[in-house]
Amino acid sequence: MNAARVALIAVATIAVVAVVMLAYFFILAGDEGLQPVAEPAVKGGEVEMMEEAEVMVEVGPEVGQLAPDFTLQTIDGTTFSLSDFRGKTVVVWFMIPVGCPICVSQVEELKKLQEELGEDLVVIAVTILDYQGVEDDLAKFRDEKGLMEWFYAVDTAQLGLKYNIVEMGVIIVGPDGKILHRGIPQASFEEMLNAIRAAA
């Protein structure tokens, strides 16, 4: 009996030790197997989140935000949208076509910018004012200044609210659609050019 009992205890002890060793082995193997899989998964998730964050840019009127898109009709009847000019720098100039000394000086600054950037610059001259004869005043302003290549339109898309402009202002939109500069009520040639070059 004693010999049988000793043998039984020995077998039981060996079995327990074997189970413990196997459990310990699987724990170690499990830890080592999870680490290389889990770490890239986490890193990959972070990369994806960062990429999505870079793509998802808030739309708004402030510098760094994606400029609110809009569609207008020029005084000549051409329909256009801001998004039509992706890839180019766009100046959205909120102006008053008559009786506005600030607008007269601003147009000279914009002409300098146009000469500097050439075809890479698009200028949209839009007036928030809506009164009888406003399109005629815009046409007269265009013809007097000789700036036939600019887009002239009356604000029918509530741009004043979208861009937080009361009457006059200069909004510069970069080739990627983000706002580069806000000049209220106006912006100098140097300010505009510096903002554009800083973003290049």
Q: With a cut of 70, say whether residue 164 has pLDDT above it.
A: yes
Residue with tokens 């950037």: 117
Q: What's the pLDDT score for residue 27?
A: 38
| pLDDT tens profile 99-131 | 999 999 999 999 999 999 999 999 999 999 999
pLDDT single digits (tens) 132-143: 999 999 999 999
- Residue 45 and residue 18 share a domain: yes
Please report whether residue 64 resides in a domain: no
pLDDT at 17: 41
Pair type for strands 79-81 and 71-73: antiparallel
CA dihedral 119, 181, 111, 123 (to 10 degrees): 50
For residues 78 and 177, state if they share a domain: yes
Give how many domains the chain has, as a whole number.
2
Same domain, 31 and 85: no
pLDDT > 90 fraction of the chain, expressed in percent and rounded:
71
Instruction: Tell me: do 191 and 94 sit in the same domain.
Output: yes
Domain enclosing residue 88, as ranges: 71-199
62: tokens are: 């402030």
Contact partners, residue 173, CB within 8 Å, separation at least 6: 67, 82, 89, 90, 91, 92, 179, 180
Q: What CA–CA distances, in Å, run from 40 to 31, 47, 49, 140?
A: 15, 10, 14, 64
Examine the domain organization and report whether 15 and 83 are in the same domain: no
- Do 75 and 48 share a structural domain? no
Q: Kindly provide the residue ranges of all beta strands, DSSP E only, lying in the chain, ordered along the sequence.
A: 71-73, 79-81, 89-94, 121-127, 151-154, 169-173, 179-183
Q: Taking 90 as the threshold, does the pLDDT of residue 163 lie above it?
A: yes
**What's 95's domain CATH number?**
3.40.30.10
Mean pLDDT score across all residues of the chain: 81
Same domain, 18 and 104: no
Does 79 lie in the same domain as 14?
no
The model's confidence at residue 148, banded by pLDDT at 50, 70 and 90, is very high
pLDDT at 57: 86
Supply the pLDDT for residue 20.
Answer: 39
Asked if residue 178 and residue 81 are part of one domain, the reply reads yes
Whether 37 is covered by a domain: the verdict is yes
